[in-house]
Amino acid sequence: MKTFTNILPLRNELKDARFSAAREGKSLRIALVPTMGYLHEGHASLLRKARAENDLVVLSIFVNPIQFGPNEDFERYPRDPEKDLALAEREGVDFVFMPSVEEMYPQPTRTHIKVEGLTDVLCGASRPGHFDGVTTVVGKLLHIVQPDRAYFGQKDAQQVAVIAQMVLDLNFDVEMIPCPIVREADGLALSSRNVYLSAEERQAALVLSRNLLAAQAKANTTESRVTAGELLTELRDAIGAEPLAVIDYVEIADFPGLSPLAADERLDAAGRRSDVLIAVAVKFGSTRLIDNVILTKKVND
Ligand code: PAF
């Protein structure tokens, strides 16, 4: 495994690898797994899939300042490069790219990628500018690495929708691979931010997965004939009943378009007309957690 902190040597090494493969008449499928580090089993699952499906796996670790708002947790975002490198090694990563802020943004960036519409709702409504920072850095990473495939966790479902739109609109030559949410045994969705939770907050946070998974199960029965309005009320009431939970949003939208569904729109397996995202963002103490389930038009298991 090779580690790079600068763009040029990484680019040169990737060029060499492509050139050597071409000389031998082989194609070289390159995967990029972009992360902000503090890696957990969710990231490991992306790396494993990337490893199984490609010839060369690049992991990027970069806590991207421009996707954090002024009052957000950029400074205290958890970092543990040594542990990250050990996990990367274990998962068979070939190249790790861990640039400094100065390497990625040698001067304040005047060019941003903004995906309109999809970024004003859900997390975009409470984190203005967040997705512009995400698409700008992912655009830069895709230019630097030029991967054939890029792997993203579905826990950030809105991020997946926004980046997929960017890839489509700007003709990035990359296949987006969304990967399922990985949960702890008790249901909590894995997140680097879980480390901020006290034991009491962590216990309270289970209200999210418990109710999201129950909503998914209910919608997936044909008999329920449940509507978006009914499910939304049930979810908001159940999460709101947890004393430590402060709701930012609980929403039901079509996926990946992210438009809210009419209250009378049927969500049951036989009635739904599109893939549907049920997404929540809830604060426990100072920690804002997100979680979601997706109801596919073709019934989920
Ligand atoms: O999902 C993340 O960790 C980040 O938003 C990403 C995609 C690495 C961009 O900084």
Q: Give residue limits of the domains in the chain.
A: 2-179, 192-295
> And the tokens for 259?
């438009």
User: pLDDT above 90 covers what percent of the chain?
Assistant: 95
Place of tokens 């230019």: 143
Q: Are strands 56-61 and 245-254 parallel, antiparallel or unpaired?
A: unpaired
pLDDT(300) > 70: no
Residue closest by Cα to atom 6 of ligand 1: 35
| Residue 231 contacts residue 215 (beta carbons within 8 Å) | yes
Residues 6+ apart with CB under 8 A from 157: 255, 277, 279, 292, 294
On the question of a common fold for 2-179 and 192-295, the answer reads no
Residue range 41-62: average pLDDT?
98
Q: How many other CB atoms sit within 10 Å of the CB of residue 110?
A: 5
Q: Are strands 95-97 and 245-254 parallel, antiparallel or unpaired?
A: unpaired
Residue closest by Cα to atom 1 of ligand 1: 35
Using one digit for the tens of pLDDT, what is the confidence trace for 60-99?
A: 999 999 999 999 999 999 999 999 999 999 999 999 999 9
For 192-295, which CATH superfamily applies?
A: Pantoate-beta-alanine ligase, C-terminal domain (3.30.1300.10)
Confidence class for position 301, pLDDT limits 50, 70, 90 = very low
178 lines ligand 1 (CB under 6 A): no
Q: How far is the CA of 36 from the centre of ligand 1 (A)?
A: 6
**pTM confidence score:** 0.97
Q: Which atom of ligand 1 is closest in space to residue 63's alpha carbon?
A: 10
For 2-179, which CATH superfamily applies?
A: HUPs (3.40.50.620)
Q: Is 78 exposed, middle or buried (0-12, 13-18, 19+ CB in 10 A)?
A: middle
Q: Per mean pLDDT, which range of 133-137, 247-251, 271-275 is the poorest?
A: 271-275
Average pLDDT, the chain: 97
Q: Which atom of ligand 1 is closest in space to residue 64's alpha carbon?
A: 10
pLDDT(196) > 70: yes
